[in-house]
Structure 1
Amino acid sequence: MKNLPLSINTLSKIIEKNCIYVDKTKMAYQLICQPGAFFLSRPRRFGKSLFIDTLKEIFEGNQELFKGLYIHDKWNWSQKYPVIVIDFAGAVLKNRKDLDNRIRKIIRSNEQQLNLEPSLDIDIPGLFEDLIMNSAKKYNQKAVVLVDEYDKPILDNIDNSKVAAEMREGLKNLYSVLKAQDAHLQFVFMTGVTKFSKVSLFSGVNQLTDITLNENYSTICGYTHEDVDNQFSEYLNNVDSNRLMYWYNGYKWLGNTPVYNPYDILLFIHNKMSYRAYWFETGNPTFLVKLFQKNRYFLPSLENLVVTEEIIDSFEVEKINPLTLLFQSGYLTIKRTFTRRQRLMFQLKIPNFEVKIALHDHFINAYTDLVNEKIELQDNLYDCLEQGDVVGMVQVIKRLFASIPWRNFTNNDIADYEGYYASVLYAFFSSLDAEIIPEDITNHGQVDMTVKLGNHVYVMEIKVMDQDNINIIDTNNKMDALNPLENPDHNPALKQIQEKGYAEKYRGIKGITVHEVGLVFSKKLRNLLRN
């Protein structure tokens, strides 16, 4: 049985330590058969660094490492190229000075690796130009430049747009050399998590071919289910493959074949087949969640996102679209593509169960501050949903909003909007793995949210009322006897559900119990009206 390549990003070590290697050299061969410059964006922990190292070993002519792999009898191993590797993974840089010092160190390290005489201490573009030209001259072959984590200095400072912009300019200062040195370059490959527009970062490298959404390279990183079956079968012999796919599979970049994050599979096996959020725990989406809060994003919309390529393609640090970052960071993936008005459209989805529950737990923490109380509320809410206990469910919802600290509403009017309450409820229901249909459409309009769990369907409408409207209800309907849960005369949300017939399309389905739930919140109380 071969060993697991845990935390190994170098091909030579994988081969030497008799570790499992999922062969990606067929796609590597397709890329390198002709000169070119390519760009690939993939989320963290997807095997980008290992692919970069594989390219390095190919271009350096280390044929022995590739015995038994696709490329072994196809590549001309007699041709060896000087390879320049630029990798920003090893440090967290917090200002432009640190970035420039790091770039100089990387250039000097490459000079030593290639046995070149050190260049004079000139500016960074000059140093990089000398490195490329001198390596091509010494080895009488055009140089290969491989860039890993090209965007990390920006992403490490993404919560500070000023510093992030400074980092972007520093990197642009480096990468712009690639266009000017095209005559001395055989191959360029850049990879990272995000894609910044050509105008902001790649204006000097506009010859780059982006293969991020190229169907031919959709599985260039990650493990397909076939890879897992073939390479890890001895480890996964008694594992329910459907459950494994449900938890960890589902990432897609065009093409029809979804992939696993390798980190999940390796840690799942290493931890004795324990289902946990391994990949999710390696990153912190706090900045992303803050973006959603700041923009007052309607969280239920995550269930049915349709966007243009412009949205998922690139972004700027001065104006970040949270959906763009959510997609590029791996929290959303492509469900399907279609054409509308002659434009390619993308329907997005959360890739799998791991990301779904973990992401919504983070949303709950950010929107409510209920880190400690969350589990009990989730358990109680799940029990009520599963048992069809609407009265109990409403009581849990009331406890939920009563537990949110008052400071969350200081100096803001977020509790005045229906979207806030819908977003909190959506995050809770989604964290229970319930099926959510936001803005569920009927022939008479749309209800705010339909929630399905087990044999029960809950059709929910949400209303937020100010004090004047509450007083009107109090005067006209004797609010001391008010039961908004059951009486549509006293519950405008429930009344709308019934008058519009929102629940009718679910009635008559065998084995399904349908519940109409009108939730009326008070702006003043920041909670449900009494019930």
Structure 2
Amino acid sequence: MDTTSNSRLLPIGIQSFEKLRSEGFLYVDKTALVYKLANSRLPYFLSRPRRFGKSLLLSTLEAYFQGKKELFKGLAIEQLEKDWKEYPVLHLDLNAEKYDSRKALESILERQLKGWEELYETGGEGITHSGRFMTVIRKAYEKTGRRVVVLVDEYDKPMLRSMHDEVLQKDFRETLTAFYTVLKSADLYLQFVFITGVTKFAQMGIFSNLNQLNDISFDIEYDALCGMTRTEIEATFRPELEAMATKNKLSFDKMFAELTRQYDGYRFTPDEEFHPMYNPFSVLSALSKSRFGNYWFASGTPTFLVEMLKKTDYDLREMEGVEVSAASLSDDRANIHNPIPMIYQSGYLTIKEYDERFNQYTLGFPNEEVKYGFLNFAAPFYTPVAAQDTSFYIGKFVRELEKGETEAFLTRLRAFFADIPYELNDKTERHYQVIFYLVFKLMGQFVEAEVRSAKGRADAVVWTDDYIYVFEFKLNGSTDEAIRQIDDKGYLIPYTADARKLVKVGVSFSREERNLGEWVIKG
């Protein structure tokens, strides 16, 4: 276990509330919200990205409903709850399996059901998994005299793991729909129901019969239920924050600014009074090692999302600042032709703005960790150059521009395109533009770089310590046209007062050669 120098225990990957509390791990107190949630007695659904604390939240609810008062000593809920009671809790965790076959899902349901059936002595009554689940709920109620609490963790994991297999998706959908629908029929016996997942999409249709669920994924009152706010981080981890600042030779404020740039920025509500949320897994990992890194992204790659982008030929340049209707983010009908809502729910995009008049969201990457992690991962799917080769190219690109070696930069960019297999390079003009976009965006990890996002801007601008480069690319056009456009449109005007050397770069791109043609450099 990684700990800081003062040996305080950071709860990285700890999903058991009982273990966290009994073994002395640090805890960001969410129990006031847990109390409010549990005592409303409504059935709830919450969507949050992976590694955001959903499993720990369900474990906390489980401990509360099991009446384990001793685990909550010193927490907010201790002052709120005056009458601790023990309820029968059925906790279904779908996190672990690979879900590569129908048998995999059936085995986990079988394992859970057998444990519950032994506990409540049902005798295995019922033929189907759903029938047995209904019997367990009824028997638990009858045996304990108290209504039942049902907690479902990562309800959608089987569906997300099988998106490549339509037949398996259909099997999983039918099995899970029947299983979850029991929760509506068993309402008389239920005290509380809470279901979590990454997405609300059942591509699925799993929720078609569960219209009683109260989706709190966008509710401001439960905005901070998962994740961490700056106030919570400073209050709970002050010694670790100070140690990290010291190790990185930064002031406390500069260190926290970097922590914010890397891991903050998640917004889960349209309300203006929202608290920006930090990714808890990344923050804890960074504090544990006293080092900034791509912890969340490295803990799981979004292969199914990038595959979806490829299938739909989605233009990656549109991901930042994309506008979507509110309905598309909360609807439970996934649309394979529109990958953005699923990318949002998976945590790779977040809410940047909300237009109340048109009920419309503007989305973007939440922070630097997600942006560069996603673009680095996506690059080989679009270029396709191996991930390590992409990193090699980007490092060389940056060094050459920092030294003012524009000719070498363009020669290397030409080699980058030449490495793309011919049969994979028979693409549209937009595809080439996406490749340019990826190259310049990925350079932004190391220097300031901007790719055109509005009319009246050059295709790309790169700032180094000594140079400002303005690039204009012309598909089947001339270099003279590119330079003339830079001059006529006044692309250099915003930088004329800057002391750095200004460099204009006009490049022609040949559709026939599928590569850079001629270029002109003027500085």
**Distance of 1:518 and 1:299 partners within structure 2:** 23
Q: Is the 8 A contact 1:177 1:204 kept in 2?
A: no
| Structure 1 match to 2:392 | 376
Count of residue pairs the alignment pairs up: 496
For residue 431 of structure 1, report the CA deviation from its aligned partner. Answer: 1.8
1:458–1:38: structure 2 CA closer, same or farther, 3 Å change rule?
farther
One-letter amino acid of the structure 1 residue matched with residue 396 of structure 2:
N
Listed as ranges, the matches of 1:204-283 within 5 Å are: 204-238=209-243, 239=245, 240-254=255-269, 255-270=273-288, 272-283=289-300
For residue 96 of structure 1, report the CA deviation from its aligned partner. Answer: 2.8
Once the two structures are superposed, residues 259-280 of structure 1 have per-residue CA deviations (whole angstroms, 9 ceiling, x without a partner) of 222221222233x312221110
Worse-superposed segment, 12-21 or 260-269 = 260-269
**Distance of 1:58 and 1:2 partners within structure 2:** 25
| Structure 1 match to 2:450 | 436
Say if 2:110 is the partner of 1:104. yes
1:346–1:133: structure 2 CA closer, same or farther, 3 Å change rule?
same
| Structure 2 match to 1:296 | 313
1:346 counterpart (358, 361, 364): 361
**Distance of 2:432 and 2:491 partners within structure 1:** 21
| Structure 1 match to 2:347 | 330
Listed as ranges, the matches of 1:324-473 within 5 Å are: 324-339=341-356, 342-368=357-383, 369-386=385-402, 389-409=405-425, 413-414=426-427, 417-433=428-444, 434-442=448-456, 447-451=458-462, 457-465=468-476
**Distance of 1:319 and 1:124 partners within structure 2:** 30
**Distance of 2:62 and 2:218 partners within structure 1:** 23
**Distance of 2:290 and 2:441 partners within structure 1:** 24
One-letter amino acid of the structure 2 residue matched with residue 358 of structure 1:
G
Q: Give the SS at the match of 1:21.
A: coil
For residue 48 of structure 1, report the CA deviation from its aligned partner. Answer: 0.4
**Distance of 2:442 and 2:296 partners within structure 1:** 17
1:117–1:296: structure 2 CA closer, same or farther, 3 Å change rule?
closer
Listed as ranges, the matches of 1:157-236 within 5 Å are: 157-196=162-201, 200-236=205-241
Q: Is the 8 A contact 1:40 1:210 kept in 2?
A: yes
1:385–1:195: structure 2 CA closer, same or farther, 3 Å change rule?
farther
**Distance of 1:293 and 1:336 partners within structure 2:** 27
For residue 456 of structure 1, report the CA deviation from its aligned partner. Answer: 5.2
Say if 2:60 is the partner of 1:60. no
1:519 counterpart (487, 501, 507): 507
Q: Is the 8 A contact 2:483 2:505 kept in 1?
A: yes
**Distance of 1:100 and 1:290 partners within structure 2:** 27
| Structure 2 match to 1:480 | none
Listed as ranges, the matches of 1:51-90 within 5 Å are: 51-90=57-96
1:146–1:355: structure 2 CA closer, same or farther, 3 Å change rule?
same
**Distance of 2:326 and 2:295 partners within structure 1:** 29
Q: Is the 8 A contact 1:197 1:315 kept in 2?
A: yes
1:453–1:184: structure 2 CA closer, same or farther, 3 Å change rule?
farther
Q: Give the SS at the match of 1:237.
A: helix
- When the two structures are superposed, what TM-score results if normalisation uses the length of structure 2? 0.88
Once the two structures are superposed, residues 97-138 of structure 1 have per-residue CA deviations (whole angstroms, 9 ceiling, x without a partner) of 4323322321222233x4333332411221111111111111
Q: Give the SS at the match of 1:141.
A: coil
Q: Give the SS at the match of 1:144.
A: strand
1:143 counterpart (124, 142, 148): 148
For residue 212 of structure 1, report the CA deviation from its aligned partner. Answer: 0.8
1:225–1:505: structure 2 CA closer, same or farther, 3 Å change rule?
same
Q: Is the 8 A contact 1:4 1:266 kept in 2?
A: yes
CA RMSD between the two structures = 2.4
Q: Give the SS at the match of 1:373.
A: helix
Q: Is the 8 A contact 2:241 2:287 kept in 1?
A: yes
1:132 counterpart (130, 137, 143): 137
**Distance of 1:169 and 1:319 partners within structure 2:** 19
Q: Give the SS at the match of 2:238.
A: coil
Once the two structures are superposed, residues 152-195 of structure 1 have per-residue CA deviations (whole angstroms, 9 ceiling, x without a partner) of 00111122233223212221111111111112111110001111
Percent identity between the two aligned chains = 32
Q: Is the 8 A contact 1:132 1:143 kept in 2?
A: yes
1:419–1:350: structure 2 CA closer, same or farther, 3 Å change rule?
same
**Distance of 2:204 and 2:380 partners within structure 1:** 37
Once the two structures are superposed, residues 404-443 of structure 1 have per-residue CA deviations (whole angstroms, 9 ceiling, x without a partner) of 233433xxx31xx22212211222222222443433223x
1:130–1:121: structure 2 CA closer, same or farther, 3 Å change rule?
closer
| Structure 1 match to 2:252 | none
Q: Give the SS at the match of 1:441.
A: coil
For residue 389 of structure 1, report the CA deviation from its aligned partner. Answer: 4.8
| Structure 1 match to 2:29 | 23
One-letter amino acid of the structure 2 residue matched with residue 427 of structure 1:
L
Q: Is the 8 A contact 1:161 1:318 kept in 2?
A: no
Q: Is the 8 A contact 1:268 1:274 kept in 2?
A: yes
What are structure 1's unaligned runs of at least 5 residues?
474-483
**Distance of 2:180 and 2:465 partners within structure 1:** 54
1:5–1:119: structure 2 CA closer, same or farther, 3 Å change rule?
same
Say if 2:106 is the partner of 1:91. no
Q: Give the SS at the match of 1:68.
A: coil
**Distance of 2:260 and 2:342 partners within structure 1:** 24
**Distance of 1:313 and 1:518 partners within structure 2:** 45
**Distance of 1:396 and 1:494 partners within structure 2:** 21
1:233–1:365: structure 2 CA closer, same or farther, 3 Å change rule?
same
For residue 526 of structure 1, report the CA deviation from its aligned partner. Answer: 1.0
For residue 30 of structure 1, report the CA deviation from its aligned partner. Answer: 1.6
